[in-house]
């Protein structure tokens, strides 16, 4: 059986990931491609419990090292029980955030050592990497204004603007480091143009 493709959708707060995740799913289904839609942190029962711990704004202060390890603990469960089995069965996997988010939020936002994240990435994932990553990018102030309209902030969303500026810079650095895999989508343009750019960048996988 031909192994499926692994697509990830990345970006900071309020860039339209949820809307475009649904669009990508429908686009793949129109091409008669079986697709599993999932998210990080999360995707399994245990990983979703870890997600709640990570996002809970009212819990005890979380050590940066604990945050990073929890991210990869959830990812290990996710890969073993959802991503790897789906890909092996020939399904495509569409994931709302993956390890690029760890480089952005923990590496950029928290100023954690990139070498530590790299080690954990190799330890947990082995050779698994996305076939395509679509990076939705918009100025921080635009994204945060959109995020405010969604309601109460979680633990990450409540961070200061400087945190999200570092996150954005870290995402753009990942783009520079992996241009063959990561494709930039300007998320502050009209939705029709965003989705046209998404389709253009997915063509390489649909040949």
pLDDT tens readout for residues 8-40? 999 998 898 999 999 999 999 999 999 999 999
Tokens of 66: 């604990």
Domain boundaries, the chain: 6-206
Say yes or no to pLDDT of 57 above 80: no
**Per-residue confidence (pLDDT) for residue 159, from 0 to 100:** 76
Name the CATH code of domain 6-206 (choices 2.60.40.3500, 3.40.50.1100, 3.40.50.300, 3.40.50.970): 3.40.50.300
Nearest C-alpha neighbor of 8 from the set 140, 178, 176: 178
Q: What is the dihedral of CA 62, 106, 101, 184, to 10 degrees?
A: 140
**Per-residue confidence (pLDDT) for residue 13, from 0 to 100:** 85
**Per-residue confidence (pLDDT) for residue 145, from 0 to 100:** 76
DSSP string, 45-61: HHHHHHHHHHH-TTSPP
Say yes or no to pLDDT of 197 above 90: yes
pLDDT tens readout for residues 123-175? 999 999 999 999 999 998 887 777 676 666 776 777 788 999 999 999 999 99
Strand locations in 138-206, DSSP E? 182-186
pLDDT, the chain, mean: 93
C-alpha R_g of the chain: 16
Mean pLDDT, residues 56-67 taken together:
88
pLDDT tens readout for residues 77-114? 999 999 999 999 999 999 999 999 999 999 999 999 99
**Per-residue confidence (pLDDT) for residue 151, from 0 to 100:** 64
Q: What percent of the chain has pLDDT over 70?
A: 96
Phi, psi angle pair for 154, to nearest 5°? -85, -175
Sheet holding 35-39, edge to edge: 35-39, 92-96, 6-11, 132-137, 182-186
Distances (CA, A) of 31 to 34, 48, 85, 179, 195: 9, 30, 21, 26, 16
User: 41: cis peptide before it, omega within 30°?
Assistant: yes
């Amino acid at each position: 059986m031909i192994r499926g493709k692994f697509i990830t959708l990345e970006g900071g707060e309020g860039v339209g990931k949820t809307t475009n995740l649904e669009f990508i799913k429908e686009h793949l289904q129109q091409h008669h491609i079986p697709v599993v839609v999932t998210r990080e942190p999360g995707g399994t029962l245990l990983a979703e419990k870890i997600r709640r711990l990570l996002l809970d704004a009212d819990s005890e202060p979380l050590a940066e090292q604990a945050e990073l390890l929890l991210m990869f603990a959830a990812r290990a469960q996710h890969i073993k029980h959802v991503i790897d089995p789906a890909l092996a069965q020939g399904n495509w996997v569409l994931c709302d955030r993956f390890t690029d988010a760890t480089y952005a939020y923990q590496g950029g936002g928290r100023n954690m050592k990139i070498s530590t994240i790299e080690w954990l990435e190799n330890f947990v994932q082995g050779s698994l990497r996305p076939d395509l990553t679509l990076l939705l990018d918009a100025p921080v102030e635009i994204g945060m204004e959109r995020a405010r309209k969604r309601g109460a902030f979680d633990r990450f969303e409540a961070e200061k603007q400087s945190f999200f500026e570092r996150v954005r810079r870290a995402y753009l650095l990942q783009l520079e480091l992996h241009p063959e895999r990561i494709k930039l989508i300007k998320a502050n343009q009209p939705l029709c143009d965003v989705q046209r750019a998404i389709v253009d960048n997915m063509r390489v996988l649909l040949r």
